Amino acid sequence: MAVNRRGVLIGALVGGGLLVGYNLRSRRYPLPLEPGRGEVAFDAWIKIASDGVVTVAVPQVEMGQGVTTLIPQVVAYELGADWRQIAVEPAPSSPLYANYALAARWAPMWMPTWAGWLGGEDGIFVRRWARNHSFNVTAEGTALAAYEAPARVAAASARSLLCMAAAKRWNVEWQECEAQNGFVIHEGKRLPFGPLAADTADLDPPGSPPLRDAPPAEHPQDFPPGAQLRYPRLDLPSKVDGTYQFAGDVRLPDMVYAAIRHGHIGRAEFATYEKDAARHVRGLVALVRNDRWVAAVATNWWAADNALTRIDARFSASDRADSTGISEPLDAALRTGEAARLYSRGDPDAYLSGTMPLQLRYEVAPAVHATIETATSTARYANGRLELWAATQAPQATREAAARALDIDPEDVILYSMPLGGSFDRRLQDNHAVEAALIAKACDKPVQLVWSRKQEHVAGWPRPPAAAVMYANLDAEGRLGGLRARIAVPPAALEFGRRLFDGAGPFEAIDAVAGKADPMAIEGAVPPYAIEHLAIDHVPATVPLPSGRLRGNAHGYTAFFTESFIDELAHNAGREPLAYRMALLGGDPRLAECLQRVATLASWDGGSANSGQGIACHVMGNGRIAVIATARREAEAVRVDKLSAVVDIGRVVNLDIARQQIEGGLIFGLGLTLGCSPGYEAGLPLTGRLGALNLPVLTDCPAVDVEFIKSDAESEDPCEIGVVAVAPAVANALFSATGLRLRQLPLLSEDV
């Protein structure tokens, strides 16, 4: 990326700092990093203080995935900074932090007609759209893909300028200087970054800042158990001592608290309530009505929630969601619905019609996110301006949604994006922030809105339900020659896109995308095997339940369909499941190595009868994973004793964070395997408690072994891939333990 003198801006700022800006992005955008006294800002990414502290802007929200360590680590590595002097500053919503990688991936949502013509993340149309919409959404593990390169270039440019400043003092060539551990060094001499930063103001940056020879990477063999970390997480100390601030920790002068009741899941409208019944609730400030919800505001949240219980708000609703009303249209779509063929190779229809193929059906129920912190947002509205403290993965969309609700300009909405206590894509939705804004305006006080767990289940849209019929033909020797997957699932990604990008209401979005094929709704359905004749068909189903994104997304159910089916094919052919998969792999040596190594890691015994071991694998983006589960049936429950996983995510930037994400993903996947589905009746979830979702608690958590394969392949984020192969591995393990095939998620939710 070229840097030229024309793009250099230098000037004293109000805070007393200096700005050294260079043309990494278009100059028409205001620079978001304002330096304080004694600081020098290097464009949109880095500030260096006179004491040597390096502050790195992070344009992604921290939600446990470690992004507030990963991006600073990239900068520290390229800059040559001392990790002990690295600080983090959340970056505001700005075109300078546009997430081109995610914008390209989500093009079918925001430009469905022309998505295939946009040219990927390097396409000029995608880049222009992402900048114009300040699109810095946190999702799908795109942090490194989107921000590693610009962060490295910014750090390399800052390092070059620091070396120039030192070289000028020493009267040497700047290319002979190096930056290490917060110092510029040359032949035994060294100068700290702090005093040098101010000297960069009158220097020209190099046209192409020289990057280090290799990108940052950590190799698994360099970190045996107990090894010291090179880059420990920056957010860990404050999370341990309790000073880390989440959305629920915000406190403002004269702040009041709001609880809320949403209408039934369906085409609901507010009908009536017993207003006088709350008159004697101590601390009640106001009741606020909306077409789809009613809120109570009080001096404490418990009083507000008590007031809502007393007023007995009622809603009129049609198309109320219930589990039967969800499964029946899904079943009808699967049996008779018109399918769109989204992937094909060979001649699957002719091949599979030659003989009676094996046909098996699998089902997945809706799954909620089960976040620890329920939706929380704080709003202050005064003089036509709104301040929002909200946990959100989509900051600009949240600003715009709040502005539409209040009929003000988005520029009059100031958003303080708070860290998330686990999101799993739940906070891609902005309804909690919009509600807080409306309530704050209505009662003319700063308001903190906190959803109860029950309301989280009512209005936090789940992963969509899905069902599949898998067809296959085996030759006389049991070899798989042809496979077809017919998957019925709502066009959930397109539906979500209508809400996020167009501001559509829940059922307005369902109506807008009804009957449309959605490639993102069946991602991961193409198996990693060399099958000569293959077809993947999507049957768009319309169900009375709005759908959202969830960690793993479509891969969470397509991997279950494929890997459960492959296991059944191996059993029908009388073949050992690992050997059967290996024979099908064809040209994927990386996945083959994952399978071979996980067999060693878990002491795989072939998945024989009564062994309780099951195997599954999956490819997600540029990553590969193989999982072996050891499980058994206990009375009316499932006990998973061990999960072993071998992962190839290409170049690993931070091994400790990668391990955390894979381990956490395996446990999250176990939750989706055994629970996370509340069930619905008459438009309401059947449970409003975490404890009723059959989530694994600490005493239920299995032993977890994870190994990483050293790889120089392109990096794949570890946040999602750990989730997806757990369900089929556990289902296959239970078959080996009990002889029962469980083809529905959550497991044991069917009558066996």
Assigned token pair, 548: 């959202």
Sign of CA dihedral 172, 177, 183, 189: negative
Q: Rounded to whole angstroms, what are the CA distances from 570 to 137, 474, 483, 627?
A: 42, 10, 14, 17
- Three-class secondary structure of residue 668 per DSSP: helix
Assigned token pair, 202: 């009158």
Assigned token pair, 737: 């333990």
| Phi, psi dihedral angles at 399 (to 5 degrees) | -60, -45
Considering just the CA atoms, what is the radius of gyration of the chain in Å?
Answer: 27
| Phi, psi dihedral angles at 705 (to 5 degrees) | -120, 130
Q: What is the DSSP letter of 747?
A: T
Give the mean pLDDT of the chain. Answer: 92
Q: What is the rounded CA–CA span in Å between residue 501 and residue 130?
A: 12
- 720 band by pLDDT with thresholds 50, 70 and 90: very high
Mean pLDDT, residues 221-227 taken together = 87
Please report the pLDDT score of residue 225 as a whole number. 79
What is the rounded end-to-end Cα distance, in angstroms, of the chain? Answer: 60
Percent above pLDDT 70 for the chain: 95
Q: What is the DSSP letter of 463?
A: B
Tell which residue, 468, 465, 483, has the closest CA to residue 543. Answer: 465
Over residues 364-408, the pLDDT tens digits come to 999 999 998 999 999 999 999 999 999 999 999 999 999 999 999
Over residues 734-747, the pLDDT tens digits come to 999 999 999 999 99
Tell which residue, 665, 643, 640, has the closest CA to residue 718. Answer: 665
Specify whether the CB–CB gap between 736 and 613 falls below 8 A: yes
Count, residues in the chain: 752
Residues with Cβ within 8 Å of residue 183, at least 6 apart in sequence: 190, 191, 192, 193
Q: What is the rounded CA–CA span in Å between residue 678 and residue 104?
A: 34
Q: What is the rounded CA–CA span in Å between residue 642 and residue 615?
A: 12
- 14 band by pLDDT with thresholds 50, 70 and 90: very low
According to the 3-state scheme, what is the secondary structure of 639-685? EEEEEEEEEECCCCCCHHHHHHHHHHHHHHHHHHHHCCCCCEECCEE
| Phi, psi dihedral angles at 377 (to 5 degrees) | -150, 140
Alpha helices in 361-514 (DSSP H): 395-406, 431-443, 453-459, 492-502, 506-513
Amino acid found at 469? V
Q: What is the rounded CA–CA span in Å between residue 331 and residue 329?
A: 5
- Three-class secondary structure of residue 351 per DSSP: helix
Sign of CA dihedral 101, 103, 107, 108: positive
Residue 539, pLDDT > 60, answer: yes
Q: Order of strands across the sheet with 189-192?
A: 178-180, 183-186, 189-192
Residues with Cβ within 8 Å of residue 627, at least 6 apart in sequence: 598, 615, 616, 617, 643, 644, 645, 666, 725, 726, 729
Q: Angle at Cα 325 formed by Cα 535 and Cα 687, nearest 5°?
A: 110
What angle separates helix 555-572 from helix 726-738, to the nearest 10 degrees?
A: 30
Tell which residue, 626, 616, 598, has the closest CA to residue 734. Answer: 616
- 344 band by pLDDT with thresholds 50, 70 and 90: very high
Amino acid found at 82? D
Assigned token pair, 429: 């939705």
- 5 band by pLDDT with thresholds 50, 70 and 90: very low
Over residues 296-330, the pLDDT tens digits come to 999 999 999 999 999 999 999 888 999 999 999 99
112 or 237: whose pLDDT is higher?
A: 237
Residue 268, pLDDT > 60, answer: yes
Q: Rounded to whole angstroms, what are the CA distances from 653 to 25, 712, 752?
A: 25, 11, 45
- 17 band by pLDDT with thresholds 50, 70 and 90: low
Kindly report the number of other CB atoms within 10 A of residue 345's CB atom.
Answer: 12
Over residues 155-196, the pLDDT tens digits come to 999 999 999 999 999 999 999 999 999 999 999 999 999 999
Amino acid found at 103? A
According to the 3-state scheme, what is the secondary structure of 1-45? CCCCHHHCEEEECCCCCEEEECCCCCCCCCCCCCCCCCEEEECCC
Assigned token pair, 301: 């949240």
Specify whether the CB–CB gap between 201 and 9 falls below 8 A: no
Residue 11, pLDDT > 50, answer: no
Amino acid found at 218? E
Residue 422, pLDDT > 90, answer: no
Specify whether the CB–CB gap between 161 and 20 falls below 8 A: yes
- 570 band by pLDDT with thresholds 50, 70 and 90: very high
Mean pLDDT, residues 607-631 taken together = 95
| Phi, psi dihedral angles at 739 (to 5 degrees) | 80, 0
Over residues 527-536, the pLDDT tens digits come to 999 999 999 9
Domains within the chain, CATH numbers bracketed: 5-98+133-216 (3.30.365.10), 247-318+369-459 (3.30.365.10), 337-367+462-745 (3.30.365.10)
Please report the pLDDT score of residue 19 as a whole number. 59
According to the 3-state scheme, what is the secondary structure of 174-234? HHHCEEECCEEEECCEEEEHHHHHHHHHHCCCCCCCCCCCCCCCCCHHHCCCCCCCCCCCC
Sign of CA dihedral 656, 660, 662, 663: positive
Highest average pLDDT, of 120-129, 224-233, 246-255, 471-480, comes from 246-255
Kindly report the number of other CB atoms within 10 A of residue 14's CB atom.
Answer: 8
Mean pLDDT, residues 607-617 taken together = 92
Please state the pTM of the whole predicted model: 0.94
Q: Angle at Cα 131 formed by Cα 380 and Cα 142, nearest 5°?
A: 90
Chain position carrying tokens 């599979």:
352
Residue 284, pLDDT > 80, answer: yes
Q: Rounded to whole angstroms, what are the CA distances from 399 to 145, 365, 403, 574?
A: 25, 33, 6, 58
Mean pLDDT, residues 514-527 taken together = 97
- Three-class secondary structure of residue 46 per DSSP: strand
Residue 458, pLDDT > 80, answer: yes
Please report the pLDDT score of residue 16 as a whole number. 53
| Phi, psi dihedral angles at 482 (to 5 degrees) | -150, 145
Residue 219, pLDDT > 70, answer: yes
- 29 band by pLDDT with thresholds 50, 70 and 90: confident
- 352 band by pLDDT with thresholds 50, 70 and 90: confident
Q: Rounded to whole angstroms, what are the CA distances from 244 to 139, 208, 239, 251, 418?
A: 22, 39, 5, 14, 10
- 4 band by pLDDT with thresholds 50, 70 and 90: very low
